[in-house]
Amino acid sequence: MKSVRHGGIDCDVHPALPGMAALLPYLDPYWQEQVTVRGIDGLDLSSFPTQMDAHGRADWREAGHKPGSSLELLRRDALDGFGSQLAICNPLYGVLAIYNEHFAAAVARAMNDWITAEWLDREPRLRASITVAAQNAEHAVDEIERRAGDQRFVQVLLLSQDDVPLGNRRYWPIYAAAARHGLTIGVHAGSTYRHAITSNGWPSYYLEDYAAHAQGFQSNLLSLVHEGVFAKFPSLKVVFIESGFTWLPTFMWRANKTWRGVRAEVPWVDRPPSDIIRDHVRFTLQPTDAPPTGADMERVLNQIGSDDMLLFSTDYPHWQFDGDNVWPAGFSDTLKQRVLVDNPRNAYPRLKEALS
Amino acid sequence: MTPDDGRILVAEAPANASRSKLKLIDCDVHHALRSSKDLYPYLATRWHDHIAQFGRRRPVPFLASSPYPKTAPALSRTDSWPPNGGPPGSDLAFLQEQLLDRYNIEYGMLHLLTSGMDERNQDLGNALCCAINDWQYEHWTQKDKRLKAAIVVPGEDAVAAVKEIERWAGNPDFCQISIVTHSIEPLGRRRYWPIYEAAEAHNLPIGLHSSGTNGHAVTSAGWCSYYVEEQHNVALSQQNLAISLVCEGVFERFPALKAVIIEAGFVWVPAVCWRLDQHWARMRGEVPHLTRKPSEYFRSNLWYSSQPADEPENPQDLRQVIEWLGWDRLMFATDYPHWDMDNPEHVFKFRMTEAEQQQVFAGNARAVYGLA
Amino acid sequence: MARHIVADAGEIPPGGRKLVTIRGREIGVFNQNGDYFALLNRCPHQGAELCKGTLIGLATSTGPGNFELTRHGEMLKCPWHGWEYDIRTGQSWCDPNDIKARAYPVTVEHGATLVKGPFVAETFQVEIEQDYVVIEV
Ligand code: FES
């Protein structure tokens, strides 16, 4: 087990921004003053309440601090804890949900400066996603251009549920910039709550919101395929982060079936959606939403029909498993090795270059 | 608009007779109004004028088209337009010939895609539901005893819905209660509970056929562009609906309530259950009203119609999913006359034992709907 | 293999079709601007009467947002699930190698040749100076 695990690439860890105060040094004077005078703070996403046990494993917390806010702990529990050679930081602060697009762009920029100075510069095993203000693709593209020279940024981070599905052309300049710079698009579970979390309105419980991310990802997957994002950007890889993946086989069956009868509506989709998904879309390991037995998981993996699609992740500091049981039952040693190293390298062009 | 296939010359050919020995129960048959005028005999005159002047008010962009134009006229098989005119499903004799007789169907469970539930004018919505039920009774279930109707109720107005349930409960022509699935709030929310209370009291299952409009975007990430997406997203919303019924505690409060998910397929159920169970284990403090794992409610209170049945490359994968789902949960449906209908003779590309066939094609539905 | 006379050459107009039954098999005969094609009237997917489907063009694209329509009237869209079949070959568009409608060779022949036989013409009085549509089944 230990030997299989060592040297993996953890594709989803969450350094937490303690609060707006931590960004002040990285904001320009105008926004510093706005933030201070107006008391702007608390922009953590309500679709990921940081106080919940589920979003901070008890043994990975430090009293009085947001889970994930300490580099020391992340080093100890995520990097050393799982023997990972690299980990990709996905900060989940609520930049994408800010209504003022100019403020969002300023915060995105500060976030990227912050993660560079306080995480990447201090820990060589860390890589990061670029935080962008996708509210307006121009802001996002500016920010991607600003960071692209730093090879430690390997991905552009979006949320799974924003105001339009991710295949929409509104996002295409972002995809073009990502493709140009060998950056992957990471889509993390989460909602800006511009729309109800289900197409039937707002449920009562967080459990339902969290479960609903699976359907939200599936809607986005349909959108990415049918809008033709991968036809337009053939080198682009999209990583679904914290989406679960055991729904994938049955989703692909249905997508293929519908496409066969209706495909003339989107003639650029000239092969079955499952083929396109297998070529372009990747999924992080945690949470696995595993079936009851390892034998069942083997069947699901078999139905997925590709060993290339899963990427190792701990989802640190979120609580998806106990102890070091990051592997659900049903993964062979060969598959683990692929998930740990080969698949992440192939999903992130910049890691491939760095490691080759 | 009817499909234009040109004139087809036909040299005499034998009519297709049913090849099936098994008597089937079809859990999703669509009859249709020829026009809203069919309902006028059952509507107060005030509504005739109202409909003529103001029409229906539903939260949709177009006057007379679906928000996402379908892949075929009237959403239907192009060979299902009755020779005597009217839209597909509107002619009983043709429906009998093309569906009931052709496939040896013992019972067909009717689902009308028109409801008053998503009408914004609630008085009109209530009147429409009542009229629809009168019309279904007089023109369909009384004319062919194989056809069983669903009590169409204005579910956004639970008081009126319960009244309509009471009007028909006990009438053997009505076997379930129909509420549209695109409700204004998730259907597990309390405002709908009086309906479930009445359903449980009268031992009537709730039939949840993908339908209706509620003004919400069709995905939780907003509006998609294409019908090829929307058609699939409608099924995704049924997943959220099932999650809602379970997590909000409907089946704790009404343990004998049966709910049937219709026209959403079924292959998604196991993965939804796995996900819910896993996260419930960490968040159960939030939902102390759930005394069992979420998946257990899926196994005790929910059933699923088979259509559209998925077609994995390896047909055995479908058998595997049914094993996970439970053979007692799945109920065959054609969805006649809609374009994505399933033909009972070809729908499952793997072998079922006779006992399995018996369950899926008839037995499960017979038990759920209490059919003789 | 037997050759069956199924229509007078002028009977099926361009863009038209005729359903015939040959030894219990229903077959659709299509006239595509003078070229004739024949397909079994049975969709390999779920058994719909394929030859009653709509004749459409082939939609293709060079990339997102580009729409092209070629081969007008040469694709047969199944009346049920809308899968598209090439009337020239019976191949489905979505899975041309594995999903095919059964196709039969069709020729137009002169009555003078036909009377030399062998052929089957249950309902036809063959006239020497006429042309006929002939299917090999
Ligand atoms: S039966 Fe022809 S496409 Fe399904």
Which pLDDT band, with edges at 50, 70 and 90, does B17 fall under? Answer: low
User: Which pLDDT score, from 0 to 100, does residue A70 have?
Assistant: 96
User: 3-state class of B312 per DSSP?
Assistant: coil
Q: What is the C-alpha separation between C116 and B187, in angstroms, rounded?
A: 74
Record: contact C68-A227, CB cut-off 8 A: no
User: Which pLDDT score, from 0 to 100, does residue B14 have?
Assistant: 45
- Of ligand 1's listed atoms, the one at least distance from the Cα of C50 is 2
Record: contact A214-B232, CB cut-off 8 A: no
Question: Edge to edge, what strands does the sheet with C3-8 contain?
Answer: C3-8, C131-136, C106-110
Side chain identity, residue B268:
W
Tell me the two tokens of residue B151: 């009590």
User: Which pLDDT score, from 0 to 100, does residue B11 have?
Assistant: 57
Residue B2 has pLDDT above 50, yes or no: no
Q: Provide the residue range defining the domain that includes A61.
A: 8-355
Whether A295 is covered by a domain: the verdict is yes
Whether A164 is covered by a domain: the verdict is yes
Residues forming beta bridges with residue B222, ordered by sequence position: B219
Residues of B in contact with A194 (CB under 8 A): 222
Place of tokens 């701990």: A314
Record: contact C83-A227, CB cut-off 8 A: no
What is the CA(A151)–ligand 1 centre distance, in A? 51
Which pLDDT band, with edges at 50, 70 and 90, does C128 fall under? Answer: confident
Q: Which of C68, C77, C86, C94 to mutate to test the interface with A (most CBs of A within 10 A)?
A: C94
Residues of A in contact with C74 (CB under 8 A): none
- Please give the residue of chain C at the shortest CA–CA distance from B78: C79
Residue C118 has pLDDT above 80, yes or no: no
Closest alpha carbon to A72 in A128, A9, A123, A3: A123
User: Which pLDDT score, from 0 to 100, does residue A31 have?
Assistant: 98
Q: What is the C-alpha separation between A307 and A328, in angstroms, rounded?
A: 15
User: Which pLDDT score, from 0 to 100, does residue C117 have?
Assistant: 74
**How many C-beta atoms surround the C-beta of residue A163 within 10 A?**
18
Whether A142 is covered by a domain: the verdict is yes
User: 3-state class of C76 per DSSP?
Assistant: strand
- For a mutational test of ligand 1's pocket, the pick from C81, C84, C99, C100, i.e. the residue with the most ligand atoms closer than 8 A to its C-beta, is C81
User: Which pLDDT score, from 0 to 100, does residue C2 have?
Assistant: 85
User: Which pLDDT score, from 0 to 100, does residue A5 have?
Assistant: 67
User: Which pLDDT score, from 0 to 100, does residue B289 have?
Assistant: 98
Nearest to C20 among B3, B6, B11 (CB): B11
Whether A2 is covered by a domain: the verdict is no
Tell me the two tokens of residue C106: 């069709």
List, in sequence order, every beta strand (DSSP E) within A81-237.
86-89, 126-131, 153-161, 184-191
ipTM of the complex: 0.96
- Phi, psi at residue B5, to the nearest 5°? -100, 10
User: Which pLDDT score, from 0 to 100, does residue C113 have?
Assistant: 84
| Region C104-118 average pLDDT | 87
Whether A37 is covered by a domain: the verdict is yes
How many domains does the structure of chain A reveal?
1
Closest alpha carbon to B74 in B316, B369, B340: B340
| Region B249-273 average pLDDT | 98
User: Which pLDDT score, from 0 to 100, does residue C112 have?
Assistant: 85
- Of ligand 1's listed atoms, the one at least distance from the Cα of C83 is 3
DSSP-based helix, strand, coil % in chain B, nearest 5: 40, 10, 50
Record: contact C47-B345, CB cut-off 8 A: yes
Residue B6 has pLDDT above 60, yes or no: no
Whether the link from the prior residue into A287 is cis, omega within 30° of 0, is: yes
User: Which pLDDT score, from 0 to 100, does residue C62 have?
Assistant: 98
Record: contact C63-A268, CB cut-off 8 A: yes
User: 3-state class of B250 per DSSP?
Assistant: helix
- C→A contacts (Cβ < 8 Å), by residue, are 56, 59-68, 81-84, 93-95
Record: contact C82-B72, CB cut-off 8 A: yes
Inform me whether the C-beta atom of residue C52 falls under 8 Å from chain B C-beta atoms. yes
User: Which pLDDT score, from 0 to 100, does residue A51 have?
Assistant: 87
Task: Please name the residues in contact with B357: beta carbons below 8 A apart, sequence gap of 6 or more.
Answer: B22
Total beta-carbon pairs less than 8 A apart between chain A and chain B: 239
Whether A3 is covered by a domain: the verdict is no
Residues of B in contact with C6 (CB under 8 A): 11
- For ligand 1, residues with CB inside 6 Å are C 43, 45-48, 78, 80-81, 83
Tell me the domain boundaries of chain C: 3-136
pTM above 0.90, yes or no: yes
Record: contact C48-B347, CB cut-off 8 A: no
- Phi, psi at residue C131, to the nearest 5°? -100, 150
User: 3-state class of B164 per DSSP?
Assistant: helix
First to last CA, chain C: 5
User: CATH says C3-136 is which class?
Assistant: mainly beta
Per the prediction, chain B carries an average pLDDT of 94
Q: What is the C-alpha separation between A121 and A232, in angstroms, rounded?
A: 35
User: Which pLDDT score, from 0 to 100, does residue A2 have?
Assistant: 47
| Region C126-134 average pLDDT | 89
CATH number of the domain encompassing residue A236: 3.20.20.140
For ligand 1, atom 1, the nearest C-alpha belongs to C46
Which pLDDT band, with edges at 50, 70 and 90, does C123 fall under? Answer: low
Residue B7 has pLDDT above 70, yes or no: no
Q: What is the C-alpha separation between A239 and A284, in angstroms, rounded?
A: 7
Sign of the Cα pseudo-torsion (C18, C20, C25, C30, in order): negative
Q: Does 3.40.50.150 match the CATH number of domain B26-369?
A: no
Residue B175 has pLDDT above 60, yes or no: yes
Residue B18 has pLDDT above 80, yes or no: no
State pLDDT tens for residues B191-249: 999 999 999 999 999 999 999 999 999 999 999 999 999 999 999 999 999 999 999 99
A176 with A233: CB under 8 angstroms? yes
- B→C contacts (Cβ < 8 Å), by residue, are 3-14, 71-72, 77-79, 339-343, 345-347
Per-block mean pLDDT, blocks of 10 residues, chain A (356 long): 72 97 98 98 92 91 92 96 97 96 98 98 98 98 98 98 97 98 98 95 97 98 98 98 98 98 98 98 97 97 97 97 95 97 97 77
* CA distance to partner chain B, nearest, from residue C6 (Å): 9
Residue B15 has pLDDT above 70, yes or no: no
Task: Please name the residues in contact with A155: beta carbons below 8 A apart, sequence gap of 6 or more.
Answer: A88, A128, A129, A130, A183, A184, A185, A186, A239, A348
CA distances from A135 to B21, C22, C29 (A): 60, 64, 56
Tell me the domain boundaries of chain B: 26-369
Tell me the two tokens of residue B150: 């669903």
Give the torsion through C-alpha atoms of C57, C61, C67, C68, to 10 deg: -40
